[in-house]
Amino acid sequence: MAASVCRVGTTVGRALAKNRSPILLSLRRGQSSVSYAQSLAGAPETRLTALDNGLRVASEETGHATCTVGLWISAGSRYENEKNNGAGFFLEHMAFKGTKKYPQTALEQQVESMGAHLNAYTSREHTAYYMKTLAKDLPKAVELLAEVVQSCSLNEAEIEQQRGVLLRELEEVDGNLQEVCLDLLHATAFQGTPLGQSVLGPSKNARSLTRENLVDYINSHYKAPRMVLAAAGGVNHEELVDLAKSNFSGISFEYEGDAVPVLSPCRFTGSDIRMRDDGFPLAHIAIAVEGASVTSPDIVPLMVANCIIGSYDLTYGGGKHLSSRLARLAVEANLCHSFQAFHSSYSDTGLMGIYFVTDKNSIEDMMHWSQNAWMNLCTTVTESDVTRGKNALKASLVGQLNGTTPICDDIGRHILNYGRRIPLAEWDARIDAVTASVVRDVCTKYIYDKCPAVAAVGPVEQLPDYNRMRSAMYWLRF
């Protein structure tokens, strides 16, 4: 059964990986390869239709024998409060435990008989339930998704059982230092705001959340205007719209007392948080500044800037010949075991930073060169650096959308974020428009002389004082 019905655990690491833009490499049958220009011209159109209740239906038809269809919802830990933090993640666990029409065994048998995979994930602003199946089974897949989202049984016995599963998963996450570090980064950067909450929620909430809390969460956030039924692969848009009308027309678009939830602004606070434990072999450290929102025009230059910094792992080949300057320094001076530049974008803010894993004796040096890389972006980045970053960004974006599931996920998130699927050619044009001057100006706006947020876990005694890290956010020379 594990091969057919499974959850995609919500992790910040995966959330970082999902921050990408829609670049699709479209390969026609009978062709062994296709040029980048051909992929721009041959990208299928994403069609969008809105139902009477506000639910949107979006699809991309590629003619494949398989398809992925799912429901993307504007709901996540940012919509929770201190008391019900973790409710969305709890519901993700409950999704496949049966519905009013299909008990758990019957639901599993339905999915098994189709040879399908039913998955779900929860992030800070989005929740998704999706299924990958044969194109001919699209009607049944939509029916099962509608059952899971609208008629989850929420049996008291199952809730108690999943409570124990949740607590064990929380313990497992505590052992993943990358997850701990990046959750702490959000907690300190957005302290006192909903974005500072983790997706999983605290263990005390996992013990105390009730069926009433879960039902209230569904009634408050699972509304038609905040949902997108997305599909990619061998799907016909008109058929998908008809299926949406027959299965999702009953979803309400009204709020009790017209109390429409409005996201409050989440302020960024320059600060640091340290969880020192000398028993760990390596230190996990993240430093970030407030980044651009998902709809900001600055998002593309910042993505190019992150590609210039790049990433590194001990398993990489190339050594001192790596294209990233920070990666070359990491190799030559043995600065770290790995590092990754990242940008997590939300509806009105973001986090742009560098996460690295290093030996306890190299923390100060790695922090120095990481901040030095930021200063170079603000002051001395060259056209050749930007050209390399743009090419790396295009290659990365193309490679990440290599199947119906990532394409479907991209469609769902883009409709929620932008109200449309941004065409392939538009992203390409926005990337091509980035110059060295633009990178310097945008990076200066977000990085130069700004207060960073820092999170550190492990043997972090050597991590510099916060005021010293703050003073490295500007140069007294140009």
What pTM was computed for the model? 0.89
User: What is the mean pLDDT of the segment spanning 432-457?
Assistant: 97
pLDDT single digits (tens) 254-268: 777 666 677 888 999
* pLDDT mean over 212-240: 94
Contacts of 88 (CB under 8 A, 6+ apart): 75, 76, 77, 79, 80, 122, 127, 199, 217
The pLDDT of residue 254: 78
134 within 8 A of 185, measured Cβ to Cβ? no
Helix (H), strand (E) at residue 152:
none
Q: In the predicted model, what is the mean pLDDT of the chain?
A: 89
Mean pLDDT of 93-120: 90
Q: What is the DSSP string of 205-260?
A: HHHH--HHHHHHHHHHH--GGGEEEEEEES--HHHHHHHHHHHHTTS----GGG--
Q: In one letter, which amino acid is 133?
A: T
Cα–Cα distance, 282 to 358 (Å, whole number): 6
Same domain, 380 and 301: yes
∠ at Cα 12 (335, 214), nearest 5°?
160
| Together in a domain, 166 and 315 | no
Q: Is the pLDDT of residue 26 over 50?
A: no
Looking at the structure, tell me whether residues 302 and 163 fall in a common domain: no
In a domain, 290, yes or no: yes
Q: Do 293 and 195 sit in the same domain of this protein?
A: no
- Whether 400 maps to a domain, the answer reads yes
Are 238 and 352 found together in one domain? no
Question: Does 24 fall in a domain?
Answer: no
Task: Given the residues 60, 92, 125, 290, select the one marked as catalytic.
Answer: 92
Query: According to the model, what pLDDT value does residue 412 have?
Result: 96
In whole angstroms, give the CA distance from residue 194 to residue 76.
Answer: 10
Calculate mean pLDDT across residues 105-118.
93
Whether residue 100 lies inside any domain: the answer is: yes
My answer on whether 49 and 161 are in the same domain is: yes
* Residue of 15 and 374 predicted with greater confidence: 374
> Token pair 């003073």 is at which residue?
471
| CATH number assigned to the domain comprising residue 338 | 3.30.830.10
pLDDT at 22 over 90: no
Any idea which of 9-13, 107-111, 410-414 has the lowest mean pLDDT?
9-13
Domain contains 7: no
Provide the domain count of the chain.
2
Q: Using pLDDT thresholds of 50, 70 and 90, give the confidence band for residue 478.
A: low
Domain that holds residue 75: 44-249
Mean pLDDT across 72-92:
93
Query: Is residue 92 among the annotated active site residues?
Result: yes
Average pLDDT of the residues in 302-313: 96
333, 195: one domain? no
pLDDT value for 138: 96
**33 lies in a domain?**
no
